[in-house]
Each structure stands twice: as C-alpha cells, then as structure tokens.
A and B are shown apart, each in its own frame.
Chain A
C-alpha cells in the first residue's frame, strides 16, 4: 500500500481508536475497582500509554518503511515475522470484540432494544469493509470527521451535565490506594494498547518521519484530553457507585444531561456523534487485521484479505456480544491479559533486541535516509 497520511491524521486515528471504549465501558470497569479515583487511574494509564507509544515509534524509526511484524522478520527471520503477524491478528480480533461490545451495547441497550444484534454487526461490517476498501487516506479523513464528532459530543455533554456535578464525589484523593488505582488503570491501558498496536502497523505510511514521536505521543495526550473529562463528569454527576453499576456508564451520564427545560433526552444526537468514531474504530481494526493477514500469507496487497478478515472479526464479535455475561467477562478479565501481554511485550522485546542486533539497512531504508 503506497498511501501516505499526515501526522495530523495519525493523531486523529489515535484519538478515534481510544475514545469510544475509553468513555463508554472503561470508566465503569475502573469505577468498580478504583471508585472515585478513576480519573487518577486514567492519568497513570496515559503515562504508560505514552511510554509504549514512544517505544513503538522508536522501533519503527530504526527501519521507517517497515511495521512491527516486518521489522521482526528482519531481526529474527521470516517465520518469526509471520508469528508476530499472527499475534497482531489475534490482538485485533480481541480489539474488534471490545469495539463491538461498545458499539452494539450503546445502540441496543439504550436506543434500539428490538433490533437484532446481527443487524448491528452487519452494519459495522459493511461500513468497515467499505472504508477499508477506500484505503488509509480516506479512513484518515473520516477519522478527522470523527475528531469533530468527539469534540461536539464533549461540548454537548459538558453543557448538559456540568451543572449537576458535585465535586465532593471526586474526593478523597486516592481513596482506594495508589496500588489499587494503578492496578485498575489496566483497563484503560487496553485502550492505549489498541492505539499503539495500530500505530505499529500504520506508522510507515505516515509522511514526516522527523515528527513521528511528537505525533504519536501528541495523539496519546490529545486523546487523554478528549477522554479525561468523562471520568470526572461520570463520578461527579453520577457518583462512583452508579458509574460502576452500569456496563455502559457514559450512557447513564448522557441520559442525565439536559440543557435548560426544553432540551433533554438529546442522547440521540450525542450517540450519532459517538457512532461515527465507533465506526472509524471498526474500519481501523479491519484494516490492521487485513494487513497482518496479508503479511501472514505473504501477500503484497491487503485487498484480498479485507473481506475474510472482516468476516472472522464480525463472527467473533457477534459471538461475544450475543451473551452479555460473556462480554463482560471478556472485558473485565480476559481482554486486559490478552491485550496487554501482546501490546507491551511486543514493542519491549523488539526494542531491546533491536539494541543488540543491528540489521543491515535495505535499499529502501537508504533512500528514506
């Protein structure tokens, strides 16, 4: 794929990859453990996310035209590269399931309870495949629309719920202890993991290599700003106990918001904005899986892999969301282990090994240099 995107678009993609689950599901998961300190847990997690993002960028900088799997194949050989691609597919399989949990439960639980789950899965599949077929550039531009949607959503929720906020709910600071809050931050780590893994795949397609690290870490920071008001509002408006009581806690906040006497129940408008960013996430997951699959099967073009990848992701996503107990089990217990073991170990190992093994630069690297 010869497409190139700008660093700004990369930042937009990172924001879109983090936002939907981070505001929708993660805050509730963290509130069950860290109570009123979920915003502190988010700060911890953002620092960790920035480090892993920086590490990922530094690895790619060593061979700017290669993504993580290709770099691994240069370091360790073809089969290890294929193994890394397989790990990436597995990672995005799980990531897609969490995206579907977020997307489907928002729609199904609060707006369209009578709609068949399959229809929502198929809609995400069609939109996702459609976007990926148009390539990363179009996807990146959609992500910028997604950023606009995120800002609009944030402004709307802020206007509608700030007056309901009780600052006392945010106190006492570090009520459940530093260690517990740090452990609880693993749920938010999984959101950053999706962003860093995506960056590890698409960074070679980003134009200006010199500002990659700034764009990568900047993307994390901007995402944190976009997401950061949600834990504060959810705890301040709903209370930590209520936040932890719901699977999709952000919708409870949205249901409580009202602007003056006449504008209430405007969560339908907010969810329309939310759906844009959620569908961008869907597209990126399909793109990354297709790319990893094409590397696994030694294909130069990702297009033959788009539909098979999307079908596998959708089938798994459908199976997960069909049973809410299974979905919550995945989110709470399985996904943090699954995601973090891949997203942390992969860049850390590649970075450390890369310090000792210096692969000879390929002709394309020389050209880039």
Chain B
C-alpha cells in the first residue's frame, strides 16, 4: 500500500476510532455504591446512587478542593423498573451515570422479600458493571445505608468494598458478588445467599468524644437466605461463620472459650488451618452427609488465671472448642433443613458430584429430600500453638 493511502487511513482511524464513544471522564458521574428500596408507589423501585464528587474526594484524605465538604453525592429516583429509575436519575444528574466503578449493590430486605430477579437480570445484563461487584441485603433503608459515611476511606462505597475484602479475617458474612449471585440463582442444586449490611452506632466523633457511638457505621455481619430470588430469612454472625465452611474457604476465625479451671475468664482461640469436607452417602434410598472439620488452632490470647501450664491449658480447651464448633455447624444445618428448608449449604452439589445417577432421580424433589437427609457433623481440633509466648504471662504473680 502506498504512503499517501497509509497516511489517509491513519488519519481516518484517528478521527473515527478515538474517544471510545466521546465520553470524557469529566462528563461521568462515577457510581460508587447503589441502593435499591421499594418505591413509594406500589410496584415501583427506588434507586439510590452514591456518586463520587471528584473535587472533594482527592487522595486518601479527600483534600476538599471542591469546598463542599462532601466527597460523595447521593441521589435517588423511582421507576417501575430499575432501568426506568436509573433513567430518571439522569433527569437531575448533571453528569452521565457510569456504573463501571460501582463497588456494591445494597438491597433493602423488604424489597428482597418480593424477589430480586430484576436486580440479577439488570446488573448481569449491564456491560458496564463488573461481575465482582459486591451484593448485600440490609434491614435498613438502602438509600440511608448507601449515603452513610463510614470507615476510613473518603468514599463510603470503597469502605464497604474493603469490609468485604478483609472479611476473611472476621468471617461472619459471605463474600457475595454479582458473579456468585447469578451462578447461585441459575444453579439447579442450591439457592442464593447474600451478605448482610447493617448500621450500628459505633463511630465516635473526635470533637465530641463523650458522645460515644453516636455516629452510624456500616457493619458487615450476617447472611440473607433466599429461596430462588426471594429473601426468606437471615442468619446471625455465628451461624454465618459456620455457613462459610460450606460455601467458601475460611481462612481464619476467632472463638473465645472459657478457661478450663477459671470459668470467669476466657482464652481467644484463632482457627488457622482448616480442612473441611462433606462426604455424601446414599444407602437404601436415604441420603447421609458426613461433615468433617479438622482445624489447627493458635491460642492468641489467654486471660486464664490458671495454675496449669500452657500446654495443659491448650489440651483441655480442645474438647470445649470442638463442642462449640460442632454446635455452630449443627445450628446452621438445622437452619437450612428445619427453619428455611432450602439448600443454601450446597449439599445438593456434593451429592450430585458423588452420585450423579441418584441425583437425577431426586433433583426434581430435592426441596423435599433435603430436609430429610441425615447430616452428621464431626469436628476435630488441635490447639498446638501459643504463638510467641512460651510461658503464660500471669505465671510470675502466681508463683509468689
């Protein structure tokens, strides 16, 4: 191809292909979090978008060059569908609503009880939204939660994102994102679960330290349980901790256990390395699941005023720890089988993988079979690490 033609082509490409749709960053309203509530009118949805105000959200501390003092701008609009509500947002947003940087979708529990199929459909169909966007339910108004300044980050949506990311340390809520929600909703073997966000008065103003807990902070703890797309109940933080063994890889968890010879005080045990297995068995038309948890534990804190050595303490605490963990696992199994009667533990998947032929016989009536399945929980713990200390700290005082 001759040079003039090449030059013409290059110029044509530069003109035609630059700009990616002519959207400048200063034309965009970057959504950081979105909340979904029921609208005032029956059958409508209220969408709240938490939008970053770039001029006031610069750097880690948000040096307020925009002079508004508000790093976020929250707006709400209602519509008969989510898309209509979002289009209505555009009526008073001076910039184009842009979803690609959204961190979290928060759904009010009243809205979720009526079904979130529209939410799943809309956000999984939306090309801008990333599939790793966190999804959670809240008992509070989602617009309130989304507008709440929380955490150290300047942008609240980013704070909630960090809550989810570092949740593996606390492990009290599932880390549910859009990808998992869609997969669970489409799955033939299980039902969706979503993390639960609540507002708790945990923040304290530095200017008014006497008003302890006067500032609402977003807390990630608990789980919303769904049957298909409808919220049917919730699990508390302890049940959620046990649930995570079934659905995720639990990195760590802390369990306080009363001291063996000093029931007034407690020791903190950190579950560090864990092996969790579910072994299904099919015998005479009956389904059994053997749930086994083997965990290696560090003693990270001991308030025990005990005369026992650390090794003896650790050995004596293994049994009560096993009991606590077993109870928690049995409690979440009971919640699934008796309270809600839905397989959010993904036990059907374990059964399908081991008994594919038998699964084909029961899959259409798994809802009835699942509560009848026998789930046996076995827990084995090994407390083998007192971390840095060779001797307990109160030993000197007692020897006097």
Contacts and interface: CB of A to CB of B under 8 A. Distances in A.
Interface of A: 109-115, 119, 123, 126, 130, 133-134, 164, 168, 171-172, 175, 237-239, 241-242, 245, 252, 255-256, 258, 261, 264-265
Interface in B1-29: 1, 9, 13, 16-17, 20-21
A261 B183 contact: no
Interface of B: 1, 9, 13, 16-17, 20-21, 100, 127, 130-132, 165, 179, 182-183, 186-188, 349-350, 352-354, 356, 359
Most buried by A among B131, B182, B187, B188: B131
18 contacts: A110-B127, A115-B21, A123-B13, A130-B1, A168-B350, A168-B353, A171-B352, A172-B352, A172-B354, A172-B356, A175-B356, A238-B179, A239-B187, A241-B188, A242-B179, A242-B186, A256-B130, A264-B130
A168 B350 CA distance: 8
Contacts of B183: 238-239, 241-242
Contact of A112 (B13, B20, B349, B350): B20
B18 to A, nearest CB: 12
Given A111-B127, A238-B183, A255-B131, 12 more contacts: A109-B127, A112-B20, A112-B21, A130-B1, A168-B350, A171-B353, A172-B356, A239-B187, A241-B183, A242-B186, A252-B131, A261-B165
B16 A119 contact: yes
Contacts of A252: 131, 179
Given A115-B21, A238-B179, A238-B183, A258 B132 contact: yes
A242 B182 contact: yes
A129 B9 CA distance: 13
Which 7 residue pairs spanning A and B have beta carbons closest together? A241-B186, A172-B356, A239-B183, A171-B353, A256-B131, A114-B21, A255-B131
Nearest to A172: B356
Contacts of B132: 256, 258, 264
Contacts of A168: 349-350, 353
Contacts of A255: 130-131
- Secondary structure dominating the interface of A: helix
A99 B183 CA distance: 28
Contacts of A114: 21
A242 B185 CA distance: 10
A126 B9 contact: yes
Contact of A265 (B130, B179, B349): B130
A19 to B, nearest CB: 23
B31 to A, nearest CB: 14
B284 to A, nearest CB: 22
A315 B282 CA distance: 59
A256 B180 CA distance: 10
Contacts of B359: 172
A123 B17 contact: yes
A171 B356 CA distance: 9
Given A242-B183, A255-B130, A255-B131, A111 B353 contact: no
A239 B136 CA distance: 21
Contacts of B350: 168
Contacts of B100: 265
A130 B12 CA distance: 15
B23 to A, nearest CB: 9
Contacts of B186: 239, 241-242, 245
Nearest to A246: B124
Contacts of A164: 179
Contacts of B16: 119
Contacts of B165: 261
A113 B127 contact: yes
Nearest to A114: B21
A359 to B, nearest CB: 40
A174 to B, nearest CB: 8
Nearest to A261: B165
B131 A111 contact: no
Contacts of A242: 179, 182-183, 186
Nearest to B349: A168
B352 A241 contact: no
Nearest to B248: A166
A321 B127 CA distance: 18
Most buried by A among B179, B182, B187, B354: B179
